[in-house]
Homo-oligomer: A and B are copies of this chain.
Amino acid sequence: MLLKLDFSSDVPIYLQIRNQIVMGIAEGKLSPGEKLPTVRALAVESGINVMTVNKAYALLKQEGYILADRRSGAIINPDIAKPGFISDKTKNDLKLVISEIKLAGVSREELLNLCGQLYDETGETR
């Protein structure tokens, strides 16, 4: 697990860590169940603070990409085995928007139509 951190970037360090781990999973460089380096190891190796690494891990944990506790350390969430996995955070974001739409008085069918349409016309992001 080697990270390439750009300290002059305006993307915060903890986010760079988080992003590279997510991409590592997506590219298959990190496998579900695989052990991640300890927060301390990563911190020393990268010359940054433990809590900066922890912030990345906490975020990944909250998003459902990794599991982390005091005994076992951090591992890639085994449930991301197959493609089609939707993170907790993404699912939550979706739920929030759908709530708003429902409250706006949009019917179930209208919503599903819109979602399908957006799915079709959607390419890339970020």
A residues lining the B interface (CB < 8 Å): 83-87, 90-91, 93-108, 110-112, 114-116, 118-120, 122-125
A90/B84 in contact, CB under 8 A: no
The quantity of this chain's copies bound in the complex is 2
Whole-angstrom CA separation of A89 from B123 in the bound complex: 19
* Best-buried of A107, A110, A119, A124 by chain B (most CB within 10 Å): A119
B105/A122 in contact, CB under 8 A: no
Between A and B, 17 residue pairs with Cβ closer than 8 Å are A84-B104, A85-B105, A86-B104, A90-B100, A91-B114, A93-B93, A94-B115, A94-B118, A99-B122, A102-B122, A103-B125, A108-B119, A108-B120, A111-B115, A111-B116, A112-B116, A115-B115
Whole-angstrom CA separation of A111 from B104 in the bound complex: 21
Given contact pairs A86-B114, A96-B125, A97-B97, enumerate 18 new A-B contacts (beta carbons under 8 Å): A83-B105, A84-B105, A84-B110, A86-B101, A86-B106, A87-B104, A90-B101, A91-B114, A93-B93, A94-B98, A94-B114, A98-B115, A98-B122, A99-B122, A99-B123, A102-B119, A102-B122, A108-B120
Chain B contacts for A125, CB-based, 8 A: 96, 99-100, 103
A124/B107 in contact, CB under 8 A: no
